[in-house]
Amino acid sequence: MAAVPGQLIWEVVKKNNCFLVRQFGRGTASLQFSKEPNNLYNLHSYKHSGLANKKTVTIQSGGKDQSVLLATTKTKKQNKPSALLHKSLMKKEFPRMAKAVKNQVTDNYYRPDLTKAALARLSAVHRSLKVAKSGVKKRNRQALKIDFETTEIWSYFTPFNLPLILRYLLLPSQFYSQLLSPFQDNPAAVKLFKFLLIVKYTIKG
């Protein structure tokens, strides 16, 4: 069976296929995206098309082990989709992965025109993996507890307790009696709340 030229495939799919995303802009400045696989920039163009080109490059996350998957299309098994891609997992530092990608894309003149796009994709995937590994630090919103039984009044004014003190200063004065009621028998607690009231009225001025 004769192979279908890539340009002919592009003429068939360029105006209508299931991977197209709506077009942005007007005229010559318009930009259209595609969700097709094997498209490094996700741009709807013949150069980056994963449908029309026999030689494609794919770079994506390799899974939970912070690896990066590099896949290229085999040119000799185009009629066997299950064996179409040559895949390799990279678990090295970024400079070594970048060198491997560059060698794979430019080796034997595979797709040297995609070198810049492949390195940009690798950089984006690598950054996303670093963010996922570090995670997003959540602020501790749990109320800070002060041990009135064992701590003197001056030890309350530490950087750790400062957010709680500022929170008390922002509360309406009528709530102070409710906050103080569990500690009525503790002189240090009474002094602390009295001091906060003085500061509060001084600020209001």
Residue 57 lies in a domain: yes
* Domain enclosing residue 180, as ranges: 153-204
Q: Average pLDDT for residues 109-135, to the nearest whole number?
A: 85
Q: For 44-101, what is each residue's pLDDT tens digit?
A: 999 999 999 999 999 998 877 788 999 998 877 666 766 788 888 998 889 999 999 9
User: Does 146 map to a domain?
Assistant: no
CATH, residue 98: 3.30.390.110
How many domains does the chain contain in total? 2
52 touches 7 (CB < 8 A): yes
- Give the Cα separation of 168 and 159 in Å (integer): 15
DSSP code string of the chain: -PPPPHHHHHHHHSS--TTEEEEESSGGG-EEEE--TT-SS-B-STTT-TTT-SS-EEEEE-STTS-EEEEEE-SS-TT-GGG-EEEEEE-S-HHHHHHHHHHHHHGGGS-GGGHHHHHHHHHHHHHHHHHHHH-PPPP--SPP---TTT--GGGG-STTTHHHHHHHHHS-GGGHHHHHGGGTT-HHHHHHHHHHHHHHHHHH-
pTM given for the model: 0.59
Asked whether the predicted pLDDT for residue 125 surpasses 80, the reply is: yes
| Residue in this structure with the two tokens 């896949």, named with its chain if needed | 71
- Would you state the pLDDT for residue 127? 86
Are residues 122 and 28 located together in one domain of the fold?
Answer: yes
Q: Indicate whether 115 and 166 sit together in one domain.
A: no
Q: Which two tokens stand for residue 87?
A: 């895949």
Q: What pLDDT does residue 76 have?
A: 75
Whether 188 and 117 share a structural domain: no
Please report the pLDDT score of residue 84 as a whole number. Answer: 81
